């Protein structure tokens, strides 16, 4: 496929996909949530008493009885059928990085030879998808394949096309979670309970704490025609070979640049569809790498935000195809330029509207603010290895530790102002707290400027940065289900807050005043978790060494990082917060190791095939052309003259021979390495073998393929090149 041909492919795409998107006649505020059975719609469609019951259920207070569910289902059906819906599906998040659905029609026999539409409470509340084909890590062997999905009323149902989608958890009959949502809900419950207990020390009226998540989704777009000509992209989501384009992102001209027309049309279409599904899209812009973009909604309650992210990723892929693009969510589709992440902005808020993160007006507010900051840091410090384990994957590994993304070490950046406050507090003495005659609290905390919220200095190299009124967990992968990170973070923070409250209670039981007790403990904890605070350059070599000295987890091998889930501290933490039992952690780790192995295995296979079927034959053909030319020179010129004139070609012939023979022999080694690894019974050991022997060989061989790309005639080169994939729109 020559460059000219490749251009044709793109031209066709332009013709097929005009940049116009039909604009809806309504404003976004009017069509927002059009396809969601929201509280508003419930109020409209449900009898009043049932509506009241449902609100209680959704807010976590009550359990749903079947009679209520029947009424709700009937109303949902009426609403959905008005939109042309004929099917329902439970929509769940199994441990494959995607979502799953199984559609059933509304129709049932009416007993008189005809059909009627029916949708019962039972169908709404519970289904039994044949679970045997979903990963379960040995929790359920195939002969007891039963798992069931159960409606999560906290996440509203929605309509896509002709189908009513019902967000559900997915669990084994024996109760273990087979998905992301079930443990996420447990973690959110744990952090609610623990944070409420601590918040009540300051504000006795607080009844509930909500965990919020605002994700920022990065992605690449490539032309569909070119994508189809790259078997590696098609099968693995990333290019396994490809030389740097002469121009990539060195000019920094893409970030926040003007959005190309065809891309803008895609974004518009995507946003309209997302808004209709209730995803509060807010921000869109070009990212740092060419053809890389970002979409961010306004933050929401974490469970809903996770559902919305899964839904958005699904939509992105679908809508991209309508515009002749493929949307790449892989963390590192192209070597040498920035990969994609998914920043997870996280915070806690109370039902009384007080932001737990963000300095307040009174000294008490300030101490509350600092308490939650410090206890979050305690959690991140204690479980830094686990948090890393919550975001690693075969694909995210290409991004972490590069010079463009957070390093494979978790640390937290607070900014100079907040750091100064904590340092000051740590050094201050017990006299720092007094109660004056009006019982007004006086703390020796330097005034925290209100501007802090908008004004924190930025450190792009930090994986867990405080950004004014939230922490931003930046190490999450673009392709990942955010739930994984959110389960670990919220559970760990819940544990830290449980401990904190317990220690405060012990001090007050011994006669201490509550605020003095809090201050004392906060001071202790600032000192204890000092190691996690790092405001310097996370990309630097020195940080690697410094972090190891501080006792932070610096392991970079994915299969070994996954071990952190089974550390005693992790098992204990998840047990105390009732999020996972050891058995579940073991099962889930098996899946993680197995998934890692399979990903590398597929890459190795495709890569080997491409080398042997695409690259080596083409290089050899070009080499033969060069050899022919050298021979023909001898026909025309004297031997000496011919040699002189062919010097360059002879050198190329030699280089091609060296590269192709390296590639062929090392692809053999790659196949052997796979064979050896495949024989290993133990899933963990097998993943380690894939990491240590198979993955590095791919990278080594790739260098030679990329060299050949620079040598071989462009007319012959079989794969679209980086400059085409990345710059043609």
- Which pair of structure tokens corresponds to residue 67? 């009679």
Distance in Å, CB of 30 to ligand ADP, minimum: 22
Query: Which residue number, 294 or 331, has a Cβ lying nearer to ligand ADP?
Result: 294
The 3-class SS string of 502-540 reads HHHHHHHHCCCCHHHHHHHHHHHHHHHCHHHECCCCCCC
Helices (H), ranges, 637-694? 639-645, 647-678, 683-689
**Position among 93, 149, 345, 393 found at the interface with ligand ADP (CB under 6 A):** 345
Taking residues 258 to 287 in sequence order and writing x for each that binds ligand ADP by CB under 6 A, - otherwise, the string is -------------------------x----
Reduced to 3 states (helix: H, G, I; strand: E, B; else coil), residue 343 is strand
**Token pair 């929605």: residue:** 158
Regarding 462 and contact with ligand ADP (CB under 6 A), the answer is no
Residues 582-641 that bind ligand ADP (CB under 6 A): none
Distance in Å, CB of 267 to Mg ion, minimum: 18
Query: Which residue number, 466 or 593, has a Cβ lying nearer to ligand ADP?
Result: 466
Query: Which residue number, 377 or 694, has a Cβ lying nearer to ligand ADP?
Result: 377
Query: Which residue number, 343 or 523, has a Cβ lying nearer to Mg ion?
Result: 343
Reduced to 3 states (helix: H, G, I; strand: E, B; else coil), residue 400 is coil
Query: Which residue number, 349 or 595, has a Cβ lying nearer to ligand ADP?
Result: 349
State how far the Cα of 240 lies from the Cα of 608, in Å rounded to an integer: 10
Quick check: 580 and 567 in contact, CB under 8 A? no
**Position among 66, 107, 234, 298 found at the interface with ligand ADP (CB under 6 A):** 298
Residue nearest to Mg ion (CB): 343
CB crowding 463-491: b at 16 or more within 10 Å, else e: bbbbbbbbbbbbbbbbbbbbbbbbbbbbb
Regarding 256 and contact with ligand ADP (CB under 6 A), the answer is no
Query: Which residue number, 214 or 339, has a Cβ lying nearer to ligand ADP?
Result: 214
Q: What pairs with residue 285 in β-bridges?
A: 294
CB crowding 417-429: b at 16 or more within 10 Å, else e: bbeebbeebeebe
Query: Which residue number, 150 or 213, has a Cβ lying nearer to ligand ADP?
Result: 213
Residues 647-706 that bind ligand ADP (CB under 6 A): none
Residue 553 interaction partner, one of Mg ion, ligand ADP, none, beta carbon < 5-8 Å per kind: none
Can you state the angle between helices 48-58 and 66-82, rounded to 10 degrees?
Answer: 100
Query: Which residue number, 343 or 704, has a Cβ lying nearer to Mg ion?
Result: 343
Distance in Å, CB of 552 to ligand ADP, minimum: 24
Distance in Å, CB of 36 to ligand ADP, minimum: 19
**Position among 51, 106, 119, 299 found at the interface with ligand ADP (CB under 6 A):** 299
Query: Which residue number, 318 or 460, has a Cβ lying nearer to Mg ion?
Result: 460
Residue 470 interaction partner, one of ligand ADP, Mg ion, none, beta carbon < 5-8 Å per kind: ligand ADP
Count CA atoms closer than 13 A to 693's CA, side-chain side: 18
Candidate segments 54-62, 323-331, 341-349, 619-627, binder of ligand ADP by CB under 6 A? 341-349
| Of residues 30, 94, 122, 275, the one with CA closest to residue 104 | 122
Going by the DSSP 8-state scheme, the letter that residue 694 receives in this structure is I
Helices (H), ranges, 1-157? 3-16, 28-31, 39-45, 48-58, 66-82, 121-125
Reduced to 3 states (helix: H, G, I; strand: E, B; else coil), residue 210 is strand
Task: Give the H/E segment covering residue 328.
Answer: strand 325-328
- Which pair of structure tokens corresponds to residue 400? 């972490």
Reduced to 3 states (helix: H, G, I; strand: E, B; else coil), residue 115 is strand
Distance in Å, CB of 88 to ligand ADP, minimum: 31
What totals of helices (H) and strands (E) does the chain contain, helices first?
27, 19
Neighbouring CB atoms inside 10 A of 523's CB total 20
Residue nearest to ligand ADP (CB): 214
Quick check: 683 and 590 in contact, CB under 8 A? yes
**Position among 99, 123, 163, 212 found at the interface with ligand ADP (CB under 6 A):** 212
Distance in Å, CB of 325 to ligand ADP, minimum: 23
Dihedral class, residue 217 (left if φ above 0, else alpha if ψ from -120 to 50, else beta): beta
Candidate segments 41-49, 153-161, 342-350, 604-612, binder of ligand ADP by CB under 6 A? 342-350
Distance in Å, CB of 687 to Mg ion, minimum: 32
Residue 296 interaction partner, one of ligand ADP, Mg ion, none, beta carbon < 5-8 Å per kind: ligand ADP
> Total binding residues for ligand ADP by CB under 6 A?
13
Residues 313-352 that bind Mg ion (CB under 5 A): 343
Quick check: 604 and 689 in contact, CB under 8 A? no
**Position among 53, 470, 686, 707 found at the interface with ligand ADP (CB under 6 A):** 470
Regarding 296 and contact with ligand ADP (CB under 6 A), the answer is yes
Distance in Å, CB of 421 to Mg ion, minimum: 23
Residue 298 interaction partner, one of ligand ADP, Mg ion, none, beta carbon < 5-8 Å per kind: ligand ADP
Distance in Å, CB of 184 to ligand ADP, minimum: 16
- Which pair of structure tokens corresponds to residue 311? 């839904």
Query: Which residue number, 316 or 443, has a Cβ lying nearer to ligand ADP?
Result: 316
Distance in Å, CB of 357 to ligand ADP, minimum: 6
* 3-state percent breakdown (helix, strand, coil) of the chain, nearest 5: 55, 15, 35
**Position among 286, 417, 469, 660 found at the interface with ligand ADP (CB under 6 A):** 469
State how far the Cα of 9 lies from the Cα of 15, in Å rounded to an integer: 10
Q: What are phi and psi of 148, to 5 degrees?
A: -140, 155
Residue 477 interaction partner, one of Mg ion, ligand ADP, none, beta carbon < 5-8 Å per kind: none
Distance in Å, CB of 214 to ligand ADP, minimum: 3
**Position among 129, 135, 147, 214 found at the interface with ligand ADP (CB under 6 A):** 214
Candidate segments 39-47, 297-305, 369-377, 404-412, binder of ligand ADP by CB under 6 A? 297-305
Indicate the burial class of 86 (C-beta count within 10 angstroms; 0-12, 13-18, 19 or more): middle
> Total binding residues for Mg ion by CB under 5 A?
1
Q: What pairs with residue 213 in β-bridges?
A: 300, 346
Residue 227 interaction partner, one of Mg ion, ligand ADP, none, beta carbon < 5-8 Å per kind: none
Residue 347 interaction partner, one of ligand ADP, Mg ion, none, beta carbon < 5-8 Å per kind: ligand ADP
Give the Å distances, CA to CA, from 456 to 1, 451, 466, 634: 50, 8, 8, 72
Binding site for ligand ADP (CB under 6 A): 212, 214, 216, 283, 296-299, 345-347, 469-470
Binding site for Mg ion (CB under 5 A): 343
């Amino acid at each position: 496929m020559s460059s000219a041909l490749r251009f044709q492919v793109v031209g066709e795409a332009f013709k097929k996909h005009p940049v116009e998107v039909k604009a809806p006649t309504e404003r976004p505020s009017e069509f927002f949530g059009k396809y969601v059975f929201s509280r508003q719609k419930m109020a409209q469609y449900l009898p009043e008493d049932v509506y009241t019951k449902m609100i209680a259920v959704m807010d976590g207070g009550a359990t749903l009885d079947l009679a209520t569910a029947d009424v709700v289902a009937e109303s949902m059906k009426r609403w959905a059928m008005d939109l042309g819906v004929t099917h329902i599906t439970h929509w769940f998040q199994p441990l494959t990085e995607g979502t799953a659905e199984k559609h059933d029609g509304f129709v049932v026999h009416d007993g008189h030879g005809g059909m009627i539409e029916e949708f019962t409470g039972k169908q709404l509340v519970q289904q039994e998808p044949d679970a045997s084909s979903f990963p379960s890590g040995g929790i359920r062997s195939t002969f007891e394949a039963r798992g069931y999905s159960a409606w999560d009323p906290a996440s509203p149902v929605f309509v896509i096309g002709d189908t009513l989608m019902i967000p559900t958890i997915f669990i084994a009959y024996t109760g273990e979670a087979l998905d992301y949502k079930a443990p996420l809900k447990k973690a959110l419950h744990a952090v609610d309970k623990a944070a409420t207990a601590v918040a009540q020390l300051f504000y006795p009226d607080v009844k509930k704490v909500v965990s919020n998540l605002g994700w920022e989704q990065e992605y690449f777009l490539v032309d569909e025609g070119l994508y189809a000509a790259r078997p590696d992209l098609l099968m693995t989501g990333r290019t396994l070979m490809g030389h740097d384009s002469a121009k990539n992102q060195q000019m920094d001209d893409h970030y926040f640049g003007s959005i190309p027309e065809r891309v803008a049309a895609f974004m518009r279409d995507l946003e309209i569809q997302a808004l209709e599904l209730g995803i509060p899209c807010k921000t869109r812009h070009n990212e740092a790498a060419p053809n890389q973009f970002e979409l961010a909604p306004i933050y929401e309650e974490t469970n809903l935000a996770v559902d919305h992210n899964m839904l958005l990723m699904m939509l992105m892929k679908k809508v991209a195809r309508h515009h002749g693009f493929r949307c790449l969510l892989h963390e590192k589709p192209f070597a040498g330029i920035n990969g994609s992440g998914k920043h997870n902005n996280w915070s806690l808020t109370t039902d009384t509207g007080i932001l737990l993160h963000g300095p307040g007006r009174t000294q008490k507010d300030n101490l509350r603010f600092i308490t939650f900051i410090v206890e979050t840091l305690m959690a991140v410090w204690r479980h830094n290895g686990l948090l890393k384990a919550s975001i690693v994957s075969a694909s995210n590994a290409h991004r972490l530790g590069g010079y463009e993304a957070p390093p494979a070490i978790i640390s937290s950046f607070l900014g100079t102002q907040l750091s100064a406050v904590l340092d000051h507090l740590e050094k201050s003495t017990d006299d720092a707290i007094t109660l004056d005659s009006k019982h007004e609290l006086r703390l020796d905390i330097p005034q925290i400027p209100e501007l802090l919220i908008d004004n924190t200095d930025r450190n792009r190299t930090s994986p867990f940065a405080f950004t004014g009124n939230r922490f931003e967990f930046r190490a999450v992968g673009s392709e990942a289900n955010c739930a994984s990170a959110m389960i670990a973070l919220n559970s760990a923070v819940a544990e830290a807050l449980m401990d904190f409250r317990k220690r405060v209670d012990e001090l007050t039981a011994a006669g201490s005043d509550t605020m003095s007790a809090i201050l004392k403990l906060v001071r202790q904890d600032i000192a204890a978790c000092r190691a996690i605070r790092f405001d310097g350059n996370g990309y630097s070599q020195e940080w690697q060494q410094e972090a190891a000295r501080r006792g932070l987890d610096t392991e970079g091998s994915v299969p070994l990082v996954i071990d952190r889930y089974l550390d005693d501290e992790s098992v204990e933490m998840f047990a105390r917060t009732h999020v996972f039992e050891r058995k579940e952690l073991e099962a889930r780790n098996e899946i993680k190791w197995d998934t890692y192995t399979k990903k590398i295995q597929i890459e190795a296979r495709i890569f080997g095939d491409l080398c042997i079927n695409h690259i080596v034959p083409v290089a050899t053909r070009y080499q033969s052309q060069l050899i022919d030319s050298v021979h023909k020179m001898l026909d025309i010129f004297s031997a000496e003259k011919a040699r002189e004139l062919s010097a360059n070609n002879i050198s190329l012939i030699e280089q091609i021979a060296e590269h192709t023979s390296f590639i062929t022999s090392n692809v053999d080694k790659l196949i052997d390495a796979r064979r050896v690894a495949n024989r290993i019974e133990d899933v963990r050991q097998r993943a380690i073998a894939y990491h240590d022997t198979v993955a590095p060989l791919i990278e080594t061989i790739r260098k030679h393929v990329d060299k050949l790309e620079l040598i071989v005639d462009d007319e012959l080169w079989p794969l679209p090149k980086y400059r085409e994939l990345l710059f043609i729109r």
